[in-house]
């Protein structure tokens, strides 16, 4: 059993060897065999609403891959992500044991940025991420924006303002 404190960062890494996978569904099934089915979370001083699930975000890559674990609330994600797979039943939002659901995304590393926007709806802060004058940083941000856009497509995330910012970041930062 894995125990995470709610005060710790939302992003956790589980270092396990993961088998290569070639499709989202197969990847999730493979990870089901490697990851625990649930995680115990300490809710001391945790803000409400409390999470209902933990997502184990991974990529379909060969060799060892990092898995990023996020505490999430299913109804908030479902409201923003129309292609989010069905999450398993969770007893209640007050439960200390949350189901751990594997989710294959093109860029697990960029999911935290999208999740942060989903919870805060702070478009100004999201836009600020992409502003820089340094050429090498602009190129790195263009790649990050492209990877995040791929995640948005897979999840069915359709916030037009966010998608416009990502498109602008990709076009303007590559030059």
pLDDT tens figures, 11-21: 332 222 222 22
**DSSP structural state of residue 140:** H
State pTM to two decimals.
0.74
Greatest CA separation for the chain: 50
Secondary structure (DSSP) of 7-63: TS-S-EEE-------SSHHHHHHHHHHHS-SEEEEE-TTPPSSPP-EEEEEE---SS
Q: What's the mean per-residue pLDDT of the chain?
A: 76
Using one digit for the tens of pLDDT, what is the confidence trace for 123-145?
Answer: 999 999 998 888 889 889 999 99
- The predicted model gives 149-170 an average pLDDT of 95
- The predicted model gives 57-80 an average pLDDT of 84
């Amino acid at each position: 059993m894995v125990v995470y404190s709610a005060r710790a960062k939302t992003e956790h890494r589980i270092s396990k060897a993961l088998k290569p996978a070639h499709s989202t569904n197969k990847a999730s099934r493979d990870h089901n065999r490697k990851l625990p089915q649930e995680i115990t979370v300490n809710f001391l001083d945790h803000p409400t609403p409390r999470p209902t699930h933990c997502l184990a975000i991974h990529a379909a890559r060969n060799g060892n891959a990092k898995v990023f674990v996020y505490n999430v609330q299913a109804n908030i994600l479902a409201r923003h992500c129309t292609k989010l797979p069905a999450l398993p039943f969770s007893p209640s939002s007050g439960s200390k044991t949350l189901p751990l659901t594997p989710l294959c995304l093109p860029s697990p590393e960029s999911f935290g940025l999208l999740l942060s926007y989903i919870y805060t709806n702070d478009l100004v802060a999201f836009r600020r991420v992409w502003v820089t004058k340094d050429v090498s940083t602009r190129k790195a941000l263009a790649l990050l924006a492209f990877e995040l856009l791929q995640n948005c497509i897979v999840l069915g995330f359709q916030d037009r303002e966010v998608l416009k910012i990502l498109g602008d970041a990709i076009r303007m930062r590559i030059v």
